[in-house]
Structure 1
Amino acid sequence: MLLKAGARVTVGAQVLAPELREWLQLERIAWRAGTYQSEWLDGAWLVIAATRSRPLNARIAADGQARQRLVNVVDDPALSSFQIPAVIDRSPLLVAISSGGAAPMLARRLRERIESLLDPALGSLLQIAQRYRARIRARYDDLAARRRFYDWLHDGPVHASLRAAQPVQAEQQLVNALANRKEAQIPGSVALVGAGPGDPGLLTLRALRALNEADVILHDALISEPILDLARRDAKRIAVGKRGGAMHTPQATIHALLLEHARAGKRVVRLKGGDPFVFGRGGEELEFLREHGVAYEVVPGITAALACAAYSGVPLTHRDHAQSVRLVTAHCQQSFNTLDWSDLARERQTLAIYMGVSQLDELTLQLIAHGRAADTQFALIENGSLPQQRTLTGTLRALPTLAARHAISAPALLILGEVAEQADASHWYGELLGEPPRRFAVPRTLADAA
C-alpha cells in the first residue's frame, strides 16, 4: 500500500523474506540490516513497527513519539498513534474505513460491502471532471447551477459512456454540454437488469448498483421480495409480471411504461428474472428503446438453467456424457409446434427446458416418439435457488406421473439428459424427491464395497 501511494520505503530487519529481497534488487525498497537502532527513524515521516517483541515495538513507538513521527504498531492500538484503514481505491476517489484498531477484520468486511456499491467507472469520471474543472467553473459561475451540472455529470450520459468503456464519447459529451448555452438536463435511461433465479446472493454487483440508483423499477412477478428490498427505499415499484393462467401485463403496456418514465428523466430499471436475453423478451424491449431514442444498458443475470443445475448438483456439460446444451422454452402449444423434436431427442446432449411444467405430457410423448430413450434421466427443479427449492429426479417415461404426484408447479426448470443422473449423488440444496424410493444395494463382501 505504501509503495502504491508513492512512498520511499526502507525496511529495517536482520533478514529479508524472498519477496522483499526481490524488491530490493529491483530497487523498490531500501534495506537497513541488523538490529533496530533509534537512528533508523531519522528522516522518516511514518513508521510501521511489526516485530514479534512487544517491548521492542513499545521502544520503536516511544522513539517515534519523541521525534513526532506517525507510528503504527501492528495489532496493538494502544501503542499506535494512527491506524491503517481499509481502503477503497477509485483513484482519485479514496474511501477509508477504520475501526480505530478495535476490529480491523470487521472494517475490511465493511469495505467489501461498500466497494460493491461503488461503480468502477467512478475513478474515470473523477479524472475527467478534474481535467475540466476550470472550464466547468468558468461556464457555471453560479454555485447552484454548477452543482446541477455535476449532478448531470454523474447521472447522465458521460458516466453511462464511461461504464460502457467509451471514454472518447464520454469526453465529447462533456465538451458539447459545456459549449451548449442551455443548462445540461439529465436524460432518462433504462437498464435491463437480470435478477437471477431468486437468491439475492446471485445478483451481480452491477445489478445491485443499478437497483440502488433506480428511480423506477418495473419488475417481473417472479422477482423475490428479498431482491426488491435491496433497491432504493424511495424507488417507485411497478409490478409488470406475466404468469400463465393469471393476470398479466401486456408487452405493449410495459413498453409504454418504459418510455413514459424515461422521457420524464427517470432512471428506470426493468428487472427480469434470470437473464434479460434468455427467454426474457429483453431483445424486444431493447429494440423498442433503440427505436425511440432512449439511452439503455444491459446488465446480465444468471439464467435459470445455470442456477438450477448448480443448485441441484447437475453439470450441464460433461465430457463423458454431454458435449452440448440446448436451452428450450415450452410455455405454450405454439412454441411446441416450432421445435425440431428429432434434433432435441438426440443422445449425449443436455436439454434445459424453461416454462414446461404445464406441457410435460406432450413433451414426454414427443421426445420418446422421436427416439429419446424412455429411461433417460431427468431433474425437475422447482423454485431453483430459493429456500423452498425441490428437485425431482427420475426417468423420462415417469416424468408426468412423478411431477403430478409431487405437485410440482411453476416456476420449474427441466434438465433432461445423461448428466441429470448426477443429481442423485451430487444434490446439495433443498429437498430431493424421487420415485420409487432409492434402494441402495448392500455389498456382500468388502471387495464388492470397494
Structure 2
Amino acid sequence: MKNKIQPKVTLVGAGPGDPDLLTLKGVKALAEAKVVLYDALANEAIMNHAPKSAIRIFVGKRKGRHSYSQDQINQLIVDNALTYGNVVRLKGGDPFIFGRGSEEIEFVESFGIPTFVVPGISSAIAVPANQGISLTKRGISESFWVITGTTSERNLSADIALAAKSSATVVILMGMSKLAQIVSLFQKESKGETPIAIIQNGTLSSEKFGIGTINSIQEVVAENKLSNPAIIVIGEAVRERNKLKGFYKEFASNKVCARE
C-alpha cells in the first residue's frame, strides 16, 4: 500500500548570496525536499543542498523578466505539495523582507497545508556588514530604515522622503534606477555632504563597492560602472566604516571609490 502524501511547505531564506551564509536549518530543510521552487538566487550553489532526486522549479523574477506571476507561484507551491508532499520554497535574503513570503504562506495555509518558515540572513544588514558598515553605532546612529526603492507601481517609495529627514541610517533595496531621485530628496534636506555607499553583488566574489557623498555619488556610480543588484546605504554610519578608519581623516565632499 502506498504511503499517503503528507503535504508540507517550508519557506527558506537563502541569505544574501554567499552560500556559506545559508543557515544550518535551511540546509536541513533543503536536504529533505521533494520539490524546490527557487528564485533567481545570487548563488545557485545553494541548490546543491537539495537531493539529486528533488524536482527543481525556477520561479525567479528579474527586472523585465518574470517566469511566473505571483499567483502562478502560489498555485505551483500548493499543487506540488499536494502531489509530492515536502516542498521547499527557496527565496533570496529573508523571505519576509520584500520577499512576498507572507503572501505565499497565507495562500498555502488556506488549503490547510502545514507551513514552516526558516528565516534567512537579510542582505539589508549582511551586505553593509560585509563592507564594515555598522548600521547602528553608539553616538552615531540610533536606528535604521530599510526601504524598497521601487514600489509595486514602479514608483519611488514615499518613505524615502521621510527617512531623509531623520538622522537614521537609510538602507535602500532595489533603488539604483531611482538614484537621481533619491539624491534630490536628500539634497532638499541639505544633506549633500552625507556619506553614501553603494554595494553591488554583496557578499559574492563579484562584489563591487563605491562610496562618496550625496553630491558626488552619481559620479562614483558612473566611474565604477555600478548597477543592479545593489544596496544603497546612506548616513553617518557610512563615514564610520571600519575599513576607512585611519586612512581618511576628512571625508568632506571628496569621493572614494573602491572595488573590493
TM-score (norm 2): 0.88
1:291 aligns with 2:110: yes
Identify the match of residue 225 of structure 1 among 32, 40, 44.
44
Partners of 2:256 and 2:140 in 1: how far apart? 25
Partners of 1:345 and 1:334 in 2: how far apart? 21
Deviations 1:128-147 (A, max 9, x none): xxxxxxxxxxxxxxxxx7xx
Partners of 1:351 and 1:335 in 2: how far apart? 20
Identify the match of residue 65 of structure 2 among 226, 230, 246.
246
Distance apart, 1:422 and its partner CA: 2.8
- Do the aligned partners of residues 437 and 352 (structure 1) sit closer, same or farther apart at CA in structure 2, a change above 3 Å counting? closer
The secondary structure found in structure 1 opposite 2:89 is strand
Do the aligned residues in 2 keep the contact of 1:378 with 1:420 (CA within 8 Å)? Answer: yes
Identify the match of residue 425 of structure 1 among 243, 250, 254.
243
- Partner residue in 2 for 1:310: 129
- Do the aligned partners of residues 337 and 387 (structure 1) sit closer, same or farther apart at CA in structure 2, a change above 3 Å counting? closer
1:387 aligns with 2:186: no
1:397 aligns with 2:190: no
- Do the aligned partners of residues 283 and 219 (structure 1) sit closer, same or farther apart at CA in structure 2, a change above 3 Å counting? same
Identify the match of residue 85 of structure 2 among 260, 263, 266.
266
Partners of 1:389 and 1:216 in 2: how far apart? 31
Distance apart, 1:418 and its partner CA: 0.4
Partners of 1:235 and 1:217 in 2: how far apart? 7
Deviations 1:370-425 (A, max 9, x none): x1510110111111111111121110112223213222122111111000113373
| Structure with greater helix share of residues | 1
- Partner residue in 2 for 1:197: 16
- Do the aligned partners of residues 280 and 396 (structure 1) sit closer, same or farther apart at CA in structure 2, a change above 3 Å counting? same
- Do the aligned partners of residues 361 and 226 (structure 1) sit closer, same or farther apart at CA in structure 2, a change above 3 Å counting? same
Question: Matched residues, percent identical?
Answer: 38
- Do the aligned partners of residues 192 and 330 (structure 1) sit closer, same or farther apart at CA in structure 2, a change above 3 Å counting? same
Q: Which structure's relative contact order is higher, taking Cα pairs within 8 Å and 6+ residues apart?
A: 2
Partners of 1:262 and 1:311 in 2: how far apart? 36
The secondary structure found in structure 2 opposite 1:402 is helix
Structure 2 unaligned runs (5+)?
A: 246-253
The secondary structure found in structure 2 opposite 1:327 is strand
Deviations 1:50-90 (A, max 9, x none): xxxxxxxxxxxxxxxxxxxxxxxxxxxxxxxxxxxxxxxxx
1:1-80 → structure 2 map (5 Å cutoff):
none
Partners of 2:211 and 2:48 in 1: how far apart? 33
- Do the aligned partners of residues 426 and 405 (structure 1) sit closer, same or farther apart at CA in structure 2, a change above 3 Å counting? closer
Do the aligned residues in 1 keep the contact of 2:131 with 2:243 (CA within 8 Å)? Answer: no
Do the aligned residues in 2 keep the contact of 1:345 with 1:372 (CA within 8 Å)? Answer: no
TM-score (norm 1): 0.52
Please give the root-mean-square deviation of Cα atoms over the aligned residues, in Å. 2.1
Partners of 1:306 and 1:338 in 2: how far apart? 19
- Partner residue in 1 for 2:251: none
Do the aligned residues in 2 keep the contact of 1:195 with 1:223 (CA within 8 Å)? Answer: no
The secondary structure found in structure 2 opposite 1:334 is coil
Partners of 2:172 and 2:161 in 1: how far apart? 16
1:326 aligns with 2:145: yes
- Partner residue in 1 for 2:29: 210
Distance apart, 1:238 and its partner CA: 0.9
1:111-260 → structure 2 map (5 Å cutoff):
185-260=4-79
Distance apart, 1:239 and its partner CA: 0.9
Distance apart, 1:342 and its partner CA: 4.3
Do the aligned residues in 2 keep the contact of 1:220 with 1:239 (CA within 8 Å)? Answer: yes
- Do the aligned partners of residues 338 and 330 (structure 1) sit closer, same or farther apart at CA in structure 2, a change above 3 Å counting? closer
Partners of 1:223 and 1:236 in 2: how far apart? 20
Do the aligned residues in 1 keep the contact of 2:150 with 2:157 (CA within 8 Å)? Answer: no
Q: How many residues align?
A: 249
- Do the aligned partners of residues 306 and 224 (structure 1) sit closer, same or farther apart at CA in structure 2, a change above 3 Å counting? same
Partners of 2:190 and 2:13 in 1: how far apart? 33
- Partner residue in 2 for 1:375: 193
Larger Rg: 1
- Do the aligned partners of residues 383 and 331 (structure 1) sit closer, same or farther apart at CA in structure 2, a change above 3 Å counting? same
Partners of 1:282 and 1:225 in 2: how far apart? 20
The secondary structure found in structure 2 opposite 1:207 is helix
Deviations 1:105-137 (A, max 9, x none): xxxxxxxxxxxxxxxxxxxxxxxxxxxxxxxxx
- Do the aligned partners of residues 188 and 368 (structure 1) sit closer, same or farther apart at CA in structure 2, a change above 3 Å counting? same
1:362 aligns with 2:149: no
